[in-house]
Structure 1
Amino acid sequence: MKNKIFVVEDDPNIRDIVVAYLKKDGYEVSMADNAEDAWEMAYRDQPDMWILDIMLPGMDGYELCKKIRQDSEVPIIIISAKDDEVDKILGLELGSDDYLTKPFSPRELVARVKRIFKRVNIAPVKKEKEVTKTIQLGDLEIHIEERRVFWIGEEVEVTAKEFDMLTILIRNQNRAFAREELLSLVWGDDYFGSDRAVDDLIKRLRRKLDGLPIETVWGYGYRMRSDEEGSQ
């Protein structure tokens, strides 16, 4: 079965080129020139991936990304003429899986699409091999297959990257991870943004899970302290 991609881009030249390259590579593609129409399309037919422009008429790409993440963990690639670091970080914080700055090579975009689908498609195989379906650390409980997080008995809504960061840290308790390593593990090897994205994600986790034993390793990165290590 072909993977289905929704492309939301108001520039017809860019949209047509992106759609042509994706179709040539075997993907099923639907397109829209504004976020409102794209959102209506998603009600009728859910895609396997979104490719979103930021500067759209009406609702912008950031808002659409936020709406998608409220209901779904489907991969999102943002394409934008905005190349400031703060714009990239905002896109990633809202839940996008990748951020590509215009002008870009359509071949590079297709390569990134393939990489993300490869990562998503191998995830179920890995899960089947997992012996532990639920991981616990003190008041934190993670349901791996359901991708649900509970803190002190209450379910907490987390983004896809927040969940990935939690599982990496909790599976490797007391191990110190460098920021660059966490950036690669959570965002992928071809993400070239600042490691500030890691700091911002950790801040959000600490805010949502107040008391979570994530320790800062000054000048290096972070580690998840086990119960046996005692409290701060």
Structure 2
Amino acid sequence: MRKRILLLEDEQAIADTLLYALQSEGFEVRHVGLAREALSAFEQAPPDLAILDVGVPDGNGFDVCRAIRKTSELPIVFLTARHEEIDRVLGLELGADDYVVKPFSPREVCARVRAILRRSAGGGAPAAVPAPTPVAPGLLTLDEKAQRIACEGELLALTRYEFLLLATLLRRPQRIFSRTELMDLVWGGAPHTSDRTVDAHIKLLRAKLRERGLVAEVIQTHRHMGYSLRLP
């Protein structure tokens, strides 16, 4: 079955280029030019991935992403003409899987879409282990095969990159990972992502762990060095 892509892009020339490239790769693409049309299309027939332009006439892709994230972990890629790093960090904090700055190569966008869909299907996950591994007894449990992490027996609601980041730290507790190492291990397929992305995702993970009652910082910051997982 062909994967369905929702494309929100108000510039017709750019949309036509992406439509041709994605359809040539075998994807089924629904193109809309307004934020409200994107949300309507998502509700009518949820796609396998959404490509959202940040700036559209009736709003922006960030608002569409926020609305989608209320009910879905749908893979999302942002398109934007903006070069400010704060916009990329905001997009990633909202749960986007990737961020492409215009002008871009349609082939690059297709490659990123394929990579994200492979990861979402489990193709980009680390090798599975026979059973869930309790990393910190009574605290965090990593299930490689199911790509899930539980906190005191309750599954954490993590985005794809949040899972990959926390799983990387969990596999080597107390080891300090530099930002560069984490970028290579977690965001290897997103070369235009900056190391600020690591900090943004660490912040989000800490917030989710605090929501589960973990007052002490499980993820430790080592100044000028990186991050590590602290065991009890």
TM-score normalised by L of structure 2: 0.85
* 1:147 aligned residue: 148
Residues 1:131 and 2:136 are matched in the alignment: no
Query: Any idea what the Cα deviations from partners look like across 1:102-129, whole Å, max 9, x if unmatched?
Result: 11111221122222223333449867x4
1:1-232 aligned within 5 A = 1-123=1-123, 129-133=128-132, 135-142=134-141, 144=143, 145=146, 147=148, 149-150=150-151, 157-209=157-209, 210-227=215-232
* 2:212 aligned residue: none
Residues 122 and 33 (structure 1), Cα distance of their counterparts in 2 relative to 1, 3 Å cut: same
Which 5+ residue runs of structure 1 have no aligned equivalent?
A: 228-232
How far does residue 143 in structure 1 lie from its aligned partner after superposition?
6.2
How far does residue 27 in structure 1 lie from its aligned partner after superposition?
0.8
Q: Which amino acid aligns with 1:48?
A: D
* 1:230 aligned residue: none
Work out whether residues 149 and 158 of structure 1, in 8 Å CA contact, stay in contact via their aligned partners in 2.
no
How far does residue 101 in structure 1 lie from its aligned partner after superposition?
0.7
CA distance in 2, matches of 1:71, 1:92: 17
Q: Which amino acid aligns with 2:139?
A: L
User: Secondary structure of 2:207's match?
Assistant: helix
User: Secondary structure of 2:83's match?
Assistant: coil
Query: Any idea what the Cα deviations from partners look like across 1:58-117, whole Å, max 9, x if unmatched?
Result: 231011112222322222111100111111111111111111111111122112222222
User: Secondary structure of 2:174's match?
Assistant: coil
Residues 14 and 125 (structure 1), Cα distance of their counterparts in 2 relative to 1, 3 Å cut: closer
Count of residues paired in the alignment: 225
Q: Which amino acid aligns with 2:206?
A: R
Residues 36 and 148 (structure 1), Cα distance of their counterparts in 2 relative to 1, 3 Å cut: farther
CA distance in 2, matches of 1:132, 1:146: 11
Query: Any idea what the Cα deviations from partners look like across 1:32-61, whole Å, max 9, x if unmatched?
Result: 111211112122211111111000122310
Which 5+ residue runs of structure 2 have no aligned equivalent?
A: 210-214
CA distance in 2, matches of 1:56, 1:171: 42
User: Secondary structure of 1:71's match?
Assistant: coil
Residues 70 and 187 (structure 1), Cα distance of their counterparts in 2 relative to 1, 3 Å cut: farther
Work out whether residues 69 and 159 of structure 1, in 8 Å CA contact, stay in contact via their aligned partners in 2.
no
How far does residue 23 in structure 1 lie from its aligned partner after superposition?
0.4
How far does residue 203 in structure 1 lie from its aligned partner after superposition?
2.1
Work out whether residues 187 and 193 of structure 2, in 8 Å CA contact, stay in contact via their aligned partners in 1.
no
Residues 8 and 109 (structure 1), Cα distance of their counterparts in 2 relative to 1, 3 Å cut: same
Query: Any idea what the Cα deviations from partners look like across 1:171-190, whole Å, max 9, x if unmatched?
Result: 22122211112123223343
How far does residue 147 in structure 1 lie from its aligned partner after superposition?
3.3
CA distance in 1, matches of 2:187, 2:124: 19
Work out whether residues 120 and 160 of structure 2, in 8 Å CA contact, stay in contact via their aligned partners in 1.
no
